[in-house]
Each structure stands twice: as C-alpha cells, then as structure tokens.
Structure 1
Amino acid sequence: MMRSAPGARDAITDVVGVLVGHCQRLDPQVTLGSGAATGCTVVRVPGGATAAVDVRGGGPGTRETDLLDPANTVRQLHAILLTGGSAYGLAAADGVMRWAEEHGEGIPMDPADPGRVVPIVPAAVIFDLPVGDWRVRPTADDGFRAADAASTEFARGTAGAGVGARAGALKGGIGSASVVLGEGPGEGMTVGAVIVANPVGSVVDPRTGLPWGTGTDGPEYFGLAPGTPEQIAAMNALPVKGTVLNTTIGVVATDAALDPAGCRRLATTAHDGLARAIRPVHSPLDGDTLFALSTGAKRAPAVALPPAFPPDLLLLDQLCTAAAVVVERAVVDAVLHATSIAGIPAYRDLFGA
C-alpha cells in the first residue's frame, strides 16, 4: 500500500533533504536547428547521501558513475546533474562542483582546512542537440545556476533538462512523483523520483491515446480518458522521431536508510517503471540511466528473518516496489506537463489540457 503524504508536492522533494533546481535557455521562436532550447537540472542533497546507479541504455553519456559502484570506496554524493547537450552537457557538472565547493559541500580532505573538499557530482545526459541550435549547450555556469536555484519547488514539463526532450513523436520533458509507504517495515517512509523523458520509444498507447504509464494506476488517477478516434488518428499520423540518439535519465530518492548495495537494487528496480511507461525502452539508441540515493533519515524496525537473509530485505522489497511506481508516474507527469516547442507537438495539443 502506498499513498501521497498530506500536503505533499507529489515530487522527489517530498523526500526531506532533497532539493531540485533548473537552469534553461529557451528562445520563444526556437526551431529545429535555430535558437536555444536546452537546459540542466540539479538534484542536490545538502550534507550528502548514499547513492548508486544503474545504466541500461546502449548509448549512455555519464560522469562519475563508476565511483558509485558499491564495491568502490566513496560512499556518498552531494549532487546529481541531469542535463541536455549530449556529451557536451557534462561540462555543466563543473559548475555544480564549483557551487558545492564554495558552500563547503564535499568530502573533507584536510582537517585543518574545512574549505578543502571534493564534491561528488555524478551526471547523465540526454541528446537534445537537434532541437534549436546544435552549438547551444549547458555550460559550467548553467550548472552553477541550477545548483544555486535548488529548492523544494521546481517546474515540470518543458523545463530544466527537459526543455529539448522529445518522447517518441511527442514533446518530452521533466516530471516527478512521490509516495509514502503504507503498512510494513517501511511504513511512513517516502520514495520519490524525477525523470527526464527523452526516449526513442513511444510513451502513448496508439490504440487508446492514453500514456502507457497509466497502466498501474489507471487513467483516472491522472484525470485522463481515452482519446477520440480523431485524436488517436492525428497522433498516429505523426512522423517517427528522426534521431538515433535519445535517452531517459533520472533520480530516485528515499529517506529510508540504505547502504550502497541497497541503493543499487533500488536503481535497478526503478527501471521497471521506465519499462511500463516507454515502449520500447533500453534500446541501443538510448542511454537510459537512473540514480538512486538514500538520505538515511529513517530506519526501519528490526524484522526477524532466516539467517541467510539480510535484516532489511523486506524493507528493500517495499522500497523497490515503490521506486518502479514513482518512475512510471514521473514519466507520465513529464508528458502531461510538456508544452510544444520547435513544432514538436505536446500531448496536451492532441488530447487537451
């Protein structure tokens, strides 16, 4: 059982200690090939968080993901960059590091000088270069501004790293969702996700006009109804996305205390949410990458299990189930909030707001 928290934003920032900030460049008259249409999004965790990553797509663009292998030494990160600009956009992580260093966020390296820190800022990119001018990409200054803007409130849809995103034939974007766990070892704990949806695959059922990601909750949860025959025909007549480079990226967060191996399992299972909401997913043309982080604010009560099983196994199972749900919902959220740019139609254009 899962529910929304009273007064919740239905966003990853419902996990206390997680902040999100955007920086974007979007010209009003942008076209395919002209003008600015890109951006970046920073997920910041003041004080650091335990984390891991799972990369599934065949063409990823990432930074510092090897560092998050549970077998390696570093146990925490301080921010995650999600960015447009393909491999060029990874430069924005330098600005996030600069912001973190200036604010004393990082791994302490000198007990005598608290200012000597090394911030850990993994990153992942989407390919959005053909939307707008190919040469306009997120820079280090953009990453700095996104980190500086991080708060509990942030825009969805055509914002941040989702500005130039395309979801199949439709406008993609950035979306978020959260749940609070019900009865079980994780009762009262929160799981949230933020997703940048830019897949080569379709996000909408061509038979009904409903997003694939409404499958678990039902279209009523999102206030949707099947499209009319005319709306469905118009959607199915759209040209196929004409690029070989795509990618859906995101972050799943929880306030449950997890070690790096637990975070890795959370990131792995979170990809199930992508598989429910995007068809096909994890293709050779995508670089699908999901990070998972734990702020460690809440610990579950000890549960007696057979000696061969870790004591937090039931909690982890509950968290993984929730992770897939919030990722699925976040993809739908991105598609429903997206607005058309550069002639790329948004879901709301075809089926109404």
Structure 2
Amino acid sequence: MRIDAPSAITGHTSLGDTGVTALVAADPDGMAAAVDVRGGGPGTRETDLLEPHNTVERVHAILLCGGSAFGLAAADGAMAELERRGRGFPVFGEGAPGPRVPIVPAAVIFDLVVGDPAHRPTAADGAAAVAAALDGGGGLVESGSVGAGCGATAGVLRGGFGHARARAAGYTVEAFVVANPVGSVVDPATGLLYGDPAQPAVDLEAFAQLERPTPKLNTTIGVIATDAPLTKAQLKRVAMTGHDGIARAVRPAHSPLDGDTLFAVSTAPAGAAPVRDVEALAQLGQVGAGVIQAAIVDAVVSAESAYGVTAWRDIAIV
C-alpha cells in the first residue's frame, strides 16, 4: 500500500532479508519524542533520554532496524548522514560554530532466521535510509516487505512494514510499524485477522500446515506520529496507550520473547503551546492504538511470500 503521509518523512533501505526504516523529522530542529517498552526482549538505543524526567527534548530521527542487536549499528550511519546535512543538537548553542550531535533513538527486530543470518544492516544502510527520507520528499509511504520489514514474520506468516493514519481532536495521528510478533495475527478458529475481521479469512487447512522459523525470537516496533503539540510526558502516555493496538492485532502480545517497543513523536514546532484538554489527549491515545492496530494489518496483508515463509495474501480466500 502507498499512502500520502505529509506529517512524517520516512525512508527505507531494503536488503532482501533485512533492512532499515528511518523516520526523520521534517523540521531540522527535530521533534519531541517518548517511548514505551512492553516486550521482554527489547533491542534499543538512546531510549533512556526519552523519559520525561530527562533533559533532551527533541530527536532528529528514529530508526527501525532488522538484524537483531547487530542492526543498531545502522544508527551510527543515520547520525553521520544527519550531521553531514547540518542537523543535530548544537553543542555550543544555535548559530554558533561547532559540532552538532544528531539524536537518533533506534529499535530492532529479530530476523536472523530469515535468509542469511550473517546479513545485517550496517551504518551505510542507516545513512541510506535517512538519505532516502530526506531526498524522497516524504510524500509516500510504501508498506509490506520493505525496509525493516523485509525479514519480518508474524507467527507462521510473513510480517512486514505497515502504515495507517487517522484524525483525532483536530490533529493527524499516524503509525509506522514493523510487524514481527511471536504471536499470531490470525484467529485459528475462524481464519480471520484479529486486527481486522473484515478482511478475507485464510484457508484454515493451509494455515494449519504452516511452520514458523525457529527460534521464536521476534518483536513488534513502531512509531506513533502526530502533529498535535505534546510534551514528552504526554507523548509517553500516547506510546503507552498505543500498545493496546498491538494487543488487539496480535495474540499473545508483549511476551518474554518479544521486544515490543513503541515511540511517540510530535512534529509540532518547538515552543508550541501543548494540548491542555485531557479529553483531547485521551482521544489521541485511543486513536493512536487504532492506527497501530491498522498498521499491523497493513503490514501483514501487504507482505509477500519469501524465504520459505508464506504471506497472508497467498492463503487468503478471496
């Protein structure tokens, strides 16, 4: 699926059995961000600084990567590319000469049992994903077996990268998700997707015969992006609520074998007055969970069969 997505700039580096997806701030000054981790086996970088009580207020990109912990190396390249383009925290103050330090939190999925286990994203791949975002104009988001979703699995089916968007309290709320859960996205009793029962059912006989790659080490990671002006504490609440979307689309979710991690970012300009209406904040969180759920479905229905793992589309009864 390709969807117009003006509120965030995304870029993919697709490497066949693994890859990188970058979400880059459209504003060179960055975007406010927070994170919530619910899985028992996360692989992350620069997440402590996103806690509301810590100093850094804005980040310049968020990286979603394949390659398990090895894939975190892609963030080095993302930082280098952002620095090359003059983006980052100005060490000696805005406008003063001196180094800039791009802030790039990252999370990874485990995809080493798909394709070549020695093939992992590198710093060069992280740089390429950032360049693809900034040079591609940010107009379209491609879903399925792309970017960090190249080697993703969803239970016994192919996972992938998915995107969804909705409106809440007058603002845009989007989700960018790499769906790679240990749990199933399909109800084995009905053949329907947990996240969207309106989609066609799978052939239950064919579904029952599928085997998933082992070992069972996975993760669903993603970003909720909104143009609503939110503080880090408010974004933390949105990220927390967003995990409801994973739980609706995947069963079981947040297992000891998953590293489920959701970032939340606000693309509003720095200094904008934050949302003060508690009901509006609740709506943003509720819709955030909804777009995470929809993005997981988008990832699964858009994925293609490869590496011995069957895609939903190839056993769906249409």
Q: Which residue of 2 aligns with 1:305?
A: none
Structure 2 equivalent of residue 30 of structure 1: none
What does 1:245-264 correspond to in 2, within 5 Å? 245-264=217-236
2-side partners of 1:139 and 1:164: how far apart? 15
| C-alpha distance in 2 between matches for 1:21 and 1:115 | 28
Are residues 116 and 59 of structure 1, via their aligned partners in 2, closer, same or farther at CA, if it must alter by over 3 Å?
Answer: same
Identity %: 53
SS of corresponding position for 1:20: strand
Report the residue type matching 1:56 in the other structure.
R
Aligned counterpart, 1:73: 55
Partner amino acid, structure 1, of 2:153: R
What pairs up with 1:22-41 in 2 under 5 angstroms? 22-26=12-16, 37-41=17-21
Partner of 1:292: 264
The equivalent position to 2:209 in structure 1, one of 192, 214, 237, is 237
Q: Distance in 2 between matches of 1:202 and 1:225?
A: 16
Residue 300 (structure 1) shift: 8.6
The residue number in structure 2 matching 1:43 is 23
Contact persistence 2:195–2:294 (CA under 8 A): yes
Q: Which residue of 1 aligns with 2:132?
A: 149
Find the counterpart in structure 2 of residue 130 from structure 1: 113
Q: 84-93 or 112-121: which moved more?
A: 112-121
User: What is the Cα-based RMSD across aligned positions, in Å?
Assistant: 1.9
State the SS of the aligned residue for 2:206: helix
- Number of aligned positions between the proteins: 309
Query: 1:101 is paired with a residue of what secondary structure?
Result: helix
**What letter is aligned with 1:258?**
L
TM-score, normalised to structure 2's length? 0.93
Structure 2: stretches of 5+ with no match in the other structure: none
> What residue number does 1:225 align with?
200
How far apart in 2 are the matches of 1:293 and 1:319? 12
Deviation by residue 1:44-69 (Cα, 9 ceiling, x = unmatched): 01321111000000000000000100
Please list every run of 5 or more consecutive structure 1 residues that lacks an aligned counterpart in the other structure: 1-8, 27-36, 303-310
Q: 1:319 aligns with which of 284, 296, 299?
A: 284
Letter in 1 for 2:184: S
Provide, for residues 173-224 of structure 1, a one-character-per-residue CA deviation record: whole Å limited to 9, x for no partner: 000000022xxxx22x10000100111100011122221101xxx51xxxx2
Q: 1 CA distance for matches of 2:38 and 2:139?
A: 29
1:272 aligns with 2:247: no
Q: 1:83 to 1:352 in 2, by over 3 A?
A: farther
Report which of the two structures shows the higher radius of gyration computed on alpha carbons: 1
SS at match of 1:296: coil
Equivalent residue, structure 1, for 2:65: 83
The 3-state SS of whatever aligns with 2:225 is strand
Q: TM-score, normalised by structure 1?
A: 0.84
